[in-house]
């Protein structure tokens, strides 16, 4: 196979932190190479160097036989490196067509933006990918979620790339879209494009990779063909120690009903949902993105108002006017997006943990009792094994997984009756993920009613005693016991009868 | 591969909101004209409308400049005081006998240089645009006060087209304004520079990752604001005939008002200079109409301030509703 991209001796440090040390690999034309590694292993840094976001400190890169030293992301793009970042950015107030061509607008001889040619190319692209052409003239923010997703994939694919880099593209995609993406990746690799695919999901490996490399602490820890993708072995390479990925789950002894909704309806999001969660059990909530799961959680937490239906918490009617009411009723909510909805980035780990608990830590004259606050934070840092050397460690200095643990600690510290988690382990390395899942089950077994929203089906199956599947705002299925299988959940999700 | 059709429960209302955002200003403008035509005699006369054009030509160019930086999610609140400095320099040179074409060139260059100061601080210094331009506004005010040195500079129009002259009843500055807006509208739609402003205003980091030179583009936009201020300063001299210690200060707020009332989002990424022209018409006719009705000019500040507050509130509220849908995908 002709090599299309090769890197050797790549090193990169940020201040005192070493991100990459002597990384070397070769990507062949038409090859699909998966890059695995825990958070902080250097995957993102590697991509960003190839994509021209950072210059390497040392090392050489060769793209299609020529030296590759991009001075900017634009230069890398022009050289044939197309990247879909983990959280793809788009331009909500521009048309879909313009979104496709930002930064590479076709121009005529006078240097003007050639709208007609742009439109022609956009139409051809959408036809090729089977996306409705009439979307092109709509504004991006007037599209449905699935349509936006399709447009973003189309944008990445349209660049005449020699190397396509996908950074965890599936973490916000639904299963149907993931399959569409795999198909597109397959076509591109057939056409000779080298694909670099960053993922946290083992089950994707066989679909998207011919070979995989494993990064650990910024070094290359393995380079194997996909046929050798033995999950235990990869885990070992990633973490450097044997990991038992399976979590232990004792049989649930469900207690009294803690949360009950009946006929709950939020226009445009949730319709007629009946749901119960008992103390002591983990109830999973599955569905495609946009199925109404998060909205349901937000309604229980008092952020969204239902137009009809009732809720009961611990037997009492629950009509929250806002999150404060919901919290007073004993509900804790861990939001979906920790960066924008949870972490207080300017603060230390301690303050992040105790933020919600502060009213109970006040002494006379409303002064915070620092010693007690510190004790509380230290307790949770120890219990969840948060990697903060001191409670005063800045929370942004923690890895994503440990930031998530910090948020988890914040909610657990309130000793909630009902704990609602929205995508509790998204984008987190495997070891931390397993750790959080295990804690989640333990919390339930101690008597808390846990409602977990997740798009990660293996996770949901591992932790849940019961699963509700939502589809287009409704509960499509309630599954438990022997009926709770991957197949049954997927069928309900897709609206296929068993 | 089949086409995915996921029902989009929110999409129709989002589209309606976009339609409402676009239709609101034309409706308000028509209502305004009807109201003043009935309430203020002489409002709809050719002579009065020509006056409105002459009196708001400098403001129009400031608003055009502010539109460019608001589009990229920046702002420039130093345009009024900046105009004062350039107006003083231009008028002083003109009175001293400098050839008019040279005065024009110097005014444009000086404006561009002052704009470059803003641009360098915002782009190079990574200081937020509002703080940067509040700071430079204070500096420009002081510079003008020192230059003025207790002596008003009296000067006529540097060239006839930048004064109150009319050709066949049409004010010449009106043509200058239309030409500038025409060029800018073309640039925003058909030049890569213009499209970059929109992309940056939507998502600067995203644009950077797609190869858009964000810093260079933003810097150029602030320089361009300065150049427009330079031209506006000479129109100001031609209109007012004198440069005093606080020249131009009163123009900043109405310039921003014209932009936001026109419907260019204060949060960036959406709008355009033709909308600003509509917003300017609304503000200028409002100020003119209430004077004709006999309301003391003192109330102008209240009206313009209220227009800004209402327009920004409408903008932010509708944008929030639209953005909520986007937030839901993550």
pLDDT digit string, tens, across residues B64-109: 999 999 999 999 999 999 999 999 999 999 999 999 999 999 999 9
Distances (CA, A) of B283 to A10, A282, A471, B56, B251: 59, 60, 50, 9, 12
User: Which pLDDT does position A75 carry in this prediction?
Assistant: 86
Radius of gyration of chain B (CA): 21
Each residue's pLDDT tens digit, B173-229: 999 999 999 999 999 999 999 999 999 999 998 898 888 899 999 999 999 999 999
Q: What's the rounded Cα separation, in Å, for the pair A320 and A328? A: 9
Which H or E run includes A468? strand A466-471
Between residues B25 and A174, the one the model is more confident about? B25
Choose from A95, A142, A287 for mutation: most chain B CBs within 10 A.
A142
Of residues B121 and A88, which shows the higher confidence score? B121
Least CB-CB distance to B269: which of A72, A93, A115? A93
Query: Looking at the domain assignment, is residue B42 inside a domain?
Result: no
| CA neighbor of B100 nearest in space, from B158, B155, B176 | B158
Instruction: Express as a percent the part of chain A with pLDDT over 90.
Output: 34
Q: Which of A73, A146, A337 sits opposite B4 (nearest CB)?
A: A146
- How much is the pLDDT for B247? 95
- B20 within a domain of the structure (yes/no): no
Q: Which domain holds residue B157?
A: 53-288
pLDDT at site A240: 58
Comparing C-alpha atoms, which of B277, B220, B255, B251 is closest to residue B86?
B251
DSSP for A376-399, please give it.
Answer: HHHHHHHHTT---SSTTSBGGGS-
Contacts of B7 in chain A (CB under 8 A): 144, 472
A73 vs B7, B15, B209: nearest CB = B209
Tell whether the model's pLDDT for residue A496 goes beyond 80: no
- Say which range, A238-247, A316-325, B95-104, has the weakest mean pLDDT: A238-247
What string of DSSP letters covers B144-172? HHHHHTT-PEE---SSGGGTT-EETTEEH
Asked if A141 lies within 8 A of B326 by C-beta distance, the reply is: yes
Residue B142 within a domain: yes
What's the rounded mean pLDDT across residues A38-61? 87
Tell me the two tokens of residue B6.
Answer: 């996921």
| Cβ(A392)–Cβ(A350) below 8 Å | yes
pLDDT tops 60 at residue B326? no
**What's this model's pTM, rounded to 2 decimal places?**
0.72
pLDDT tens, position by position, B46-56: 999 999 999 99
**The two structure tokens encoding residue B279:** 């917003």
How would you classify the pairing of strands A466-471 and A474-480? Answer: antiparallel
Q: With 60 as the cut, is the pLDDT of residue A482 above it?
A: yes
**The pLDDT of residue A243:** 43
Express each pLDDT in A381-440 by its tens digit.
888 888 877 888 888 778 778 888 888 888 888 889 999 998 888 777 777 888 889 888
Q: Is B320 among the domain residues?
A: no
Q: At what angle do helices B172-190 and B273-292 cross, to 10 degrees?
A: 150
pLDDT of amino acid A242:
45
Mean pLDDT of chain A: 85
What single-letter DSSP state applies at residue A105? -
A9 SS3 class: strand
Q: Do B211 and A78 touch (CB under 8 A)?
A: yes
A289's tokens = 């993105």
User: Is residue A273 pLDDT above 90, yes or no?
Assistant: yes
* pLDDT at B81 (0 to 100): 98
* Neighboring chain B residues of A172 at a CB cutoff of 8 Å: 329-330
| Residue A145 to residue B209, Cβ atoms within 8 A | no
How close is the nearest chain A Cα to the Cα of B50, in Å?
35
pLDDT of residue B76: 97
Q: Per-residue pLDDT for B120 more than 50? A: yes
Contact yes or no for B199 and A102 at CB 8 A: yes
Label residue B8 by pLDDT band (50, 70, 90): very low
CA angle A498, B1, B2 (to 5 degrees): 70
Residue B302 lies in a domain: no
- What distance in Å separates the CA atoms of residue A473 and residue B9, rounded to the nearest whole number? 10
Per-residue confidence band for B38, with pLDDT thresholds at 50, 70 and 90: very high
Predicted confidence band of residue B253 (pLDDT cuts 50, 70, 90):
very high
Confidence bin at B275 (pLDDT 50/70/90): very high
Strands A270-278 and A449-453: unpaired
Please answer yes or no on whether B195 and A102 come within 8 Å at the CB atom. Answer: yes
Looking up tokens 């009206």 gives B303
What pLDDT is attached to residue A14?
A: 75
Confidence at residue A261, expressed as pLDDT on a 0 to 100 scale: 94
Q: Where are the alpha helices (DSSP H) in chain B?
A: 11-39, 46-71, 79-95, 100-119, 129-148, 172-190, 192-202, 204-209, 214-240, 252-262, 273-292, 300-327
CA distance A455 to B317: 31
Task: Reply yes or no on whether the pLDDT at A6 is more than 50.
Answer: yes
Interchain contact, A93 vs B270, CB within 8 Å = yes
Give DSSP secondary structure letters for A347-361: SBHHHHHHTTTGGGG
Q: Is residue B37 part of a domain?
A: no
A192-207 residue pLDDT tens: 899 998 876 667 777 7
CA of B17 to nearest chain A CA: how many angstroms apart?
10
- The CA distance from A464 to A458, in Å, is 10
CA distance A67 to chain B (A): 20
Nearest to B121 by CA among B209, B23, B1, B222: B222
Say which residue, B4 or A163, is predicted with more confidence: A163
**ipTM, 2 dp:** 0.83
Q: Is A467 left (phi over 0), alpha (psi -120 to 50) or beta?
A: beta
Asked if residue B57 belongs to a domain, the reply is: yes
Q: Is B255 a member of any domain?
A: yes
Mean pLDDT of all residues in B11-16: 65
Instruction: Tell me whether residues A91 and B202 touch, CB distance under 8 A.
Output: yes
CB–CB of B314/B265 below 8 Å? no
User: Angle CA(A5)–CA(A10)–CA(A16) in degrees, nearest 5?
Assistant: 150
Confidence of residue A458 (pLDDT cuts 50, 70, 90): confident
- Best of A78, A86, A92 to substitute, by most chain B Cβ atoms within 10 angstroms, is A92
The answer to whether B4 and A176 have CB atoms below 8 angstroms apart is yes
pLDDT at A237 over 80: no
Q: What per-residue confidence (pLDDT) applies to B4?
A: 35
Give the SS3 label for residue A415: coil
Structurally, chain B folds into a number of domains equal to 1
Residue B155 pLDDT > 50, yes or no?
yes
The secondary structure of chain B in percent helix, strand, coil, rounded to multiples of 5, reads: 75, 5, 20
Residue recorded with tokens 């973003």: A152
Tell me how long chain B is: 330
The length of chain A is: 498
CB B283 within 8 A of CB B303: no
Closest CA to B275 of B16, B45, B25: B25
């Amino acid at each position: 196979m002709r090599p299309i991209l090769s890197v050797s001796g790549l090193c990169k440090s940020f201040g005192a932190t070493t991100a990459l040390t002597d990384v070397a690999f070769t990507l062949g034309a038409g090859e699909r190479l998966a890059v695995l590694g825990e958070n902080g292993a250097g995957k993102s840094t590697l991509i960003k160097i190839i994509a021209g976001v950072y210059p390497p400190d040392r090392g050489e890169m060769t793209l299609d036989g020529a030296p590759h030293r991009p001075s900017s992301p634009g230069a890398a793009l022009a050289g044939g490196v197309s990247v879909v970042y983990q959280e793809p950015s788009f331009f909500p107030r521009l048309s879909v067509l313009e979104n496709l061509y930002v930064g590479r607008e076709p121009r005529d001889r006078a240097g003007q933006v050639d709208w007609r040619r742009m439109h022609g190319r956009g139409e051809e692209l959408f036809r090729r990918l089977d996306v409705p052409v009439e979307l092109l003239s709509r504004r991006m923010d007037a599209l449905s979620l699935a349509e936006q997703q399709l447009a973003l994939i189309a944008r990445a694919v349209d660049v005449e790339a020699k190397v396509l880099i996908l950074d965890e593209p599936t973490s916000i995609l639904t299963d149907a879209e993931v399959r569409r993406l795999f198909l597109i990746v397959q076509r591109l690799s057939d056409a000779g494009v080298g694909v670099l695919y960053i993922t946290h999901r083992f089950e994707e490996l066989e679909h998207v990779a011919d070979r995989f490399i494993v990064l650990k602490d910024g070094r290359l820890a393995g380079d194997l063909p996909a046929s050798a993708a033995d999950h235990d072995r990869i885990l070992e390479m990633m973490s450097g120690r044997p990991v038992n990925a399976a979590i232990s789950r004792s049989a649930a002894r469900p207690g009294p009903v803690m949360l009950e909704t009946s006929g709950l309806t939020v226009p445009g999001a949730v319709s007629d949902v009946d749901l119960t969660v008992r103390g002591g059990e983990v109830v999973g909530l599955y569905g495609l993105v946009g199925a109404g799961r998060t909205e349901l959680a937000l309604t229980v937490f008092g952020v969204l108002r239902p137009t009809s239906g009732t809720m009961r918490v611990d037997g009492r009617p629950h009509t929250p006017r806002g999150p404060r009411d919901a919290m007073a009723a004993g509900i804790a909510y861990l939001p979906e997006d920790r960066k924008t909805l949870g972490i207080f980035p300017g603060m230390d780990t301690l303050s992040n943990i105790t933020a919600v608990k502060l009213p109970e830590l006040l002494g006379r004259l409303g002064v915070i009792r620092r010693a007690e606050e510190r004790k509380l934070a230290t307790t949770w840092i120890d219990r969840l094994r948060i990697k903060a050397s001191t409670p005063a460690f800045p929370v942004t200095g923690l890895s994503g997984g440990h930031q998530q643990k910090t948020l988890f600690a914040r909610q657990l510290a309130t000793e909630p009756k009902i704990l609602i988690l929205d995508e509790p382990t998204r984008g987190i390395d495997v070891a931390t993920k397993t750790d959080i899942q295990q804690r989640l089950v333990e919390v339930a077994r101690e008597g808390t009613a846990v409602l977990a929203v997740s798009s990660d089906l293996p996770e949901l199956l591992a932790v849940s005693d019961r699963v509700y599947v939502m589809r287009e705002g409704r509960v499509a299925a309630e599954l438990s016991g022997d009926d709770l299988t991957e197949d049954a959940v997927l069928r309900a999700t897709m609206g296929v009868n068993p | 591969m089949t086409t995915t059709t996921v029902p989009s429960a929110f999409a129709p209302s989002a589209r309606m909101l976009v339609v409402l955002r676009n239709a609101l200003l034309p409706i308000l403008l028509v209502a305004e004209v009807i109201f003043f035509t009935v309430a203020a005699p002489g409002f709809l006369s050719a002579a009065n409308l020509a006056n409105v054009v002459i009196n708001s030509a400098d403001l129009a160019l400031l608003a055009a400049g502010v539109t460019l930086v608001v589009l990229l999610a920046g702002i420039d609140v130093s345009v009024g005081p900046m105009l004062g400095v350039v107006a003083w320099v231009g008028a002083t040179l003109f009175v001293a006998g400098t050839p008019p074409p040279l005065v024009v060139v110097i005014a444009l260059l000086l404006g561009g240089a002052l704009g470059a100061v803003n641009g360098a601080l915002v782009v190079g210094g990574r200081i937020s645009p509002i703080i940067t331009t509040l700071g430079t506004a204070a500096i420009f005010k002081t510079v003008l006060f020192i230059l003025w040195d207790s002596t008003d500079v009296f000067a006529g129009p540097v060239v006839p087209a930048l004064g109150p002259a009319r050709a066949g009843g049409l004010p010449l500055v009106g043509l200058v304004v239309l030409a500038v807006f025409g060029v800018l509208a073309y640039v925003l739609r058909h030049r890569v520079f213009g499209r970059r402003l929109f992309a940056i205003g939507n998502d600067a980091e995203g644009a950077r990752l797609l190869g858009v030179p964000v810093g260079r583009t933003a810097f150029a936009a602030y320089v361009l604001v300065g150049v427009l201020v330079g031209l506006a300063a000479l129109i100001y001299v031609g209109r007012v005939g004198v440069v005093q210690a606080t020249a131009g200060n009163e123009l900043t707020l109405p310039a921003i008002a014209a932009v936001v009332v026109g419907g260019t989002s204060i949060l960036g990424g959406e709008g355009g200079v033709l909308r600003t022209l509509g917003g300017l018409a609304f503000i200028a006719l409002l100020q003119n109409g209430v004077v004709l009705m006999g309301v003391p000019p003192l109330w102008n500040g209240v009206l313009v301030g209220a227009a800004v507050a209402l327009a920004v509130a409408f903008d932010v509220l509708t944008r929030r509703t639209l953005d909520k849908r986007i937030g839901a995908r993550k």
